Amino acid sequence: MDQTLPWAWYADPEQLRRERELIFSPSWHYVGHAGLVAEPGSYAAAQAGHVPVVLVRDGEGTLRAYLNVCRHRGHPVAEGAGRRESLQCRYHGWTYGLDGALRAAPRSGSEPGFDLDGIALRPVSVDTWGPLVFLNPSLEPPPLREALGPLPEAVAPDGLEFRFRDDFELSANWKVVCENYLECYHCAIAHPGFSRLVDVSPDVYRLEADGLVFSQFGPERDTGALGSFHFLWPNLTLNVWPGEPNLSIGPVVPLDPARTGRYLDYFFAPGADEEWVRELLELDGQVGREDRALVEAVQLGVSSGLVEDGRLLPESEQLVARFQELVRQAVG
Ligand code: FES
Ligand SMILES: [Fe+2]
């Protein structure tokens, strides 16, 4: 049996600081669907992990992204989404072009020695996979394609339509949330509804790790259609339920050591059967409520400070073990 990560890592602000710096800052982050910035001149504020960013479609139609941090004193330069020719900070009115360059700063003309030139929003790397937009705070990251590994063979987002975002918070460390996602050892006990739909028995339900992509495949009992649940290190989940084309995708974002932000963007094929969609969302919501209760209870357990660590089943929890190995390597 394998030991888990030290449980002290699930409640420690210094550990989270290291994880942000070493795991989150250099990673590609899914931030939303391309429809948010479809038209030239459109912008959308978003988050790449803990980093505030703004996506922009410039006048020539090129997708760009910047840190959503005014170079004056740090207020965001954009909130929400919309269309404009420039981004104006609400604090003192500094105005940036969609190319990121500072165009105007009120009263700066009468300040001796103040020069707009050379002041610009800090760019962020941006790339897309079908309708899905990804950002990386690094300036020269490895290509998104490389980071996605085998995902494009397993998931086909092209042609799907964005429907809605479900936003929520969990009172648990982000690693507890990821680890809960990475095994279905708990499904038979904790998700009776899901386990009635999908065969979760260990000889049928498959776990696979390919580089930084961890996948789970389970057939629908009635039809044999395969559901697949993918995780891209360090924190992205992608769900494809069995049945009509669909995708729900979203990150697990640490807010503080014991609090995690989560959202899922739901995509369906145009003209999807609404009754089927309704039933899927109902079961999905039920699984989500069941998982919330589990991870929030686990957080209390691992935070007692009186137990050092736990144990993992090498086979049934192989993806959890792999995830923990990557955490160890990154912050080691
Ligand atoms: S912080 Fe943006 S204008 Fe002052
Ligand atoms: Fe679960």
Please state, in angstroms and rounded to a whole number, the distance separating the CA atoms of residues 250 and 150: 18
Tell whether the model's pLDDT for residue 203 goes beyond 70: yes
| pLDDT of res. 2 | 87
Confidence of residue 332 (pLDDT cuts 50, 70, 90): confident
Residues 163-180: what's their mean pLDDT? 98
Please state, in angstroms and rounded to a whole number, the distance separating the CA atoms of residues 243 and 231: 20
For ligand 2, an ion, list residues with CB under 5 A.
291
Residues 212-227: what's their mean pLDDT? 97
Confidence of residue 322 (pLDDT cuts 50, 70, 90): very high
pTM for this predicted structure: 0.95
| pLDDT of res. 39 | 95
Record the tokens describing residue 29, joined without a space: 């982050």
Q: Whose CA is nearest to atom 3 of ligand 1?
A: 92
| pLDDT of res. 143 | 96
Residues 162-178: what's their mean pLDDT? 98
- The helix or strand, by DSSP H or E, that contains position 237, with its residue range, turns out to be strand 236-240
Q: Whose CA is nearest to atom 1 of ligand 1?
A: 73
Amino acid type, 212: L
Q: What is the DSSP string of 13-42?
A: HHHHHHHIIIIITTS-EEEEEGGGG-STTE
CA-CA distances (angstroms) from residue 149 to 160, 183, 301?
A: 21, 21, 35
Mean residue pLDDT of the chain comes to 96
| pLDDT of res. 130 | 96
In the chain, where does DSSP find H-type helix? 13-19, 144-148, 151-154, 174-181, 187-190, 192-197, 274-302, 318-331
Residues 118-127: what's their mean pLDDT? 97
pLDDT digit string, tens, across residues 20-46: 999 999 999 999 999 999 999 999 999
| pLDDT of res. 25 | 92
| Biggest distance spanned by C-alpha atoms of the chain | 76
Tell whether the model's pLDDT for residue 1 goes beyond 80: no
What's the 301 CA to ligand 2 centre distance in angstroms?
17
Tell whether the model's pLDDT for residue 303 goes beyond 80: yes
Residues 149-159: what's their mean pLDDT? 95
As for ligand 1, residues whose beta carbon falls within 6 Å of it are: 70, 72-75, 89, 91-94
CA-CA distances (angstroms) from residue 115 to 16, 62, 91, 98, 103?
A: 38, 28, 19, 19, 11
Residues 83-96: what's their mean pLDDT? 96
Residues 155-184: what's their mean pLDDT? 97
Which atom of ligand 1 is nearest to 75's Cα? 1
Which atom of ligand 1 is nearest to 92's Cα? 3
What's the 106 CA to ligand 1 centre distance in angstroms?
10
What's the 268 CA to ligand 2 centre distance in angstroms?
22
